[in-house]
Amino acid sequence: MSTRSLPLALCLLFVVALPVSAQVLYNNGPINSGTDAWTINFGFVVSDSFTISQGVSQVNGFVFGGWIAPGDVIESVELSITSAEFGGTTYFDQQVPFTASHCGANDYGFNVCDETGSFNGPTLGNGTYWINLSNAIVNTGDPAYWDENSGVGCTSPGCPSSASENSLGPIPSESFTVLGGPTSTVPEPASLALLAGGLLASVGMLRRRGR
Residue 183: pLDDT band with limits 50, 70, 90:
confident
DSSP per-residue string spanning the chain: --TTHHHHHHHHTTPPPPPPSPEEEEE------SSEEEE-STT--EEEEEEE-SSSEEEEEEEEEEEE-TT--EEEEEEEEEEETTEEEEEEEEEEE-EEEEEEE-TTS-EEEEEEEE----EE-SEEEEEEEEEEEETTS---EEEE-TTTT--STTPSPPEEETTTEEE--B-EEEEEEE-PPPPPHHHHHHHHHHHHHHHHHHHHHH-
pLDDT-derived band at 184 (thresholds 50, 70, 90) equals low
What are the pLDDT digits (tens) for 6-60? 333 333 333 333 444 689 999 999 999 999 999 999 999 999 999 999 999 999 9
Give 22 or 158, the one with higher predicted confidence.
158
pLDDT digits (tens, 9 = 90+) for 138-147: 999 999 999 9
The pTM for the full model equals 0.79
What does the domain layout of the chain look like in residue ranges? Answer: 24-184
Percent of the chain's residues with pLDDT above 70: 77
